[in-house]
Amino acid sequence: MYPDNVKYTKSHEWVRVADKMATIGITDYAQEELGDIVNIELVQPGSTLSAGGLLGSIDSVKAVSEIFSPVTGEVVEVNDELETAPELINEEPYGSGWLVIIKMDDPSEVDESMSSEEYERFIEPE
Amino acid sequence: MNKTALNDVHERAGARMGEFAGWWLPIDYGSAIREARAVRDSAGIFDVSHMGRLEFLGADALSVLQMLFTNDAGRLEDGAGQYTLMCNAEGGVIDDLIVFRKSEDHFLAVVNASNLENDEAWMFGLIPPLVTLVDETLVTSLFAIQGPRSAGILAAAGLAEAADVPRFHFVLGQIAGNEVLASRTGYTGEDGFEIACRNDSAEQVWAALLDAGQEYGLAMCGLAARDILRIEAGLPLYGHELDENTTPVEAGLMRWVKLEKGDFIGRDAIEDRVRRGPSRRLLGIQMHGRPVPRHGDVVQTPVGEGAVTSGAFSPTLGHGMAIAYLPPEAVEGMPVEVSIHGKNHPGLVRNLPIYRAQGK
């Protein structure tokens, strides 16, 4: 459940890079831990964020959690479908459950993120 | 940490387990939302063995219950039960519970797991030597089958008489050869039953119910679905809507307080509160969209401030919802703003319950 065409963060976001565009979501592990996701609030398109900046918040049945941007840049697109169907994050965390697309200031920023193997070791040490 | 007799069964079924009131219990079996929907549409089964179960035995048992509890247990016939409250001298709620009459000198009380120890400590000080209090919690199991198809499932499991049991009554019978007590009670706002059996019968009874429920769409449900359903149904949870600083007047529970039955603990204080009027009222809130209010969130109304006691996303409404203490002047339809996670979100005041089962 950890595709290797994306990079992973310690706060359980994934990022998929094409040129300067970074598509961001939360990992399968994160959605599984959260349980049913019932609401999501994301930053507006046009916002600029630094790596580690607040991207939004996710309400699951249990609790609200914050999501952070793995990269620095401008939010060019937000997944509007999640407004009425946040369960897409549970169903397809790497597909239709994506959160935002950010135009990165510096694409080399993602080099510091984890590979799928590193992430798997991170969430299940031994 | 206490574990129910079915702990291994739940883990094998893939339940996400968690701690609640000192018990290790299923939180969900994959999706709390799907489980809550199953209860509204067909039926769900819950292991609620953490609920405290106390038996009162002795010729004076009734007079003890009349002193301890606010409802009139004198109205109960054999096989009948009632929702009731146990209050302190100031009228504050110590616990909310259901009491059943098994016979004239034998009663069963089902109390909150989180309050069991505290309840017993309070009761021990007030019970005369000739009434015996027996805690059955750890030797028995309790399952809830909730939803419109519950009676059909019990019939399929061999308990056909359940269909004729009136609400808040119970029947003794057998499921898969095991003695059970099945009461028509629950915590979801749907028709349903709660089934008690000995721990050594628990696996067989659970399996027989699941088996019988297969063709009825019976879903295993955890505590997360239970919480969603009880909030939709406007049912209080101790520690959220009720505590020792809240009287039945504020909580809107005076239907279950019988001031005319004679003396009981807390009566004078409650009467006084009724005379003076409550300083806050328990009401519902329906959010405009999906934002989920949480316990403690501040509510702004046109008539003053209030606070959320419970909140959830309602799969039945498709909106965020809450139960909240609001100023006594608040009425249904009033616009409110709930401060959720640092941001204000609009909603409307609703009378409780926010959801009522069809045909009720």
Two structure tokens written together for B269: 């204080």
What is the torsional sign of CA B31, B37, B43, B44?
positive
Q: From the list A39, A83, A87, which residue is nearest B292 (CB)?
A: A39
DSSP state of B318: T
* A62 touching chain B per CB within 8 A: yes
Residues from chain B contacting residue A64 (CB–CB below 8 Å) = 292, 294, 340-341
Are B224 and A87 within 8 A, CB to CB? no
Radius of gyration of chain A (CA): 13
Are B292 and A86 within 8 A, CB to CB? no
Contact of A38 with A65, CB cutoff 8 Å:
no
CATH class of the domain comprising A7-106: mainly beta
Please name the residues in contact with B44: beta carbons below 8 A apart, sequence gap of 6 or more: B35, B36, B38, B145, B146, B147, B188, B218, B219, B220, B221, B225
Contact of B229 with B188, CB cutoff 8 Å:
yes
* A35 touching chain B per CB within 8 A: yes
Are B320 and A36 within 8 A, CB to CB? no
Contact of B205 with B197, CB cutoff 8 Å:
yes
Are A57 and B341 within 8 A, CB to CB? yes
Chains A, B: CB contacts within 8 A come to 47
- The rounded Cα A93 to chain-centroid distance in angstroms is 9
pLDDT-based confidence at residue B359 (cuts at 50, 70, 90): low
* A36 touching chain B per CB within 8 A: yes
Residues from chain B contacting residue A85 (CB–CB below 8 Å) = none
Contact of B54 with B120, CB cutoff 8 Å:
yes
Helix (H, G, I), strand (E, B) or coil at B15: coil
| pLDDT tens by residue, A1-19 | 788 899 999 999 999 999 9
The interface predicted TM-score of the complex, written ipTM, equals: 0.87
Contact of B117 with B270, CB cutoff 8 Å:
no
| pLDDT tens by residue, B142-190 | 999 999 999 999 999 999 999 999 999 999 999 999 999 999 999 999 9
Are B33 and A61 within 8 A, CB to CB? yes
Beta bridge partners of B293: none
| pLDDT tens by residue, A46-95 | 999 999 999 999 999 988 999 999 999 999 999 999 999 999 999 999 99
Residue B112 CA to residue B120 CA, distance in Å, equals 12
Residues from chain A contacting residue B31 (CB–CB below 8 Å) = 35-36, 90
| pLDDT tens by residue, A90-125 | 999 999 999 999 999 998 898 889 999 999 999 987
Q: Which helix (H) or strand (E) holds A119?
A: helix A116-123
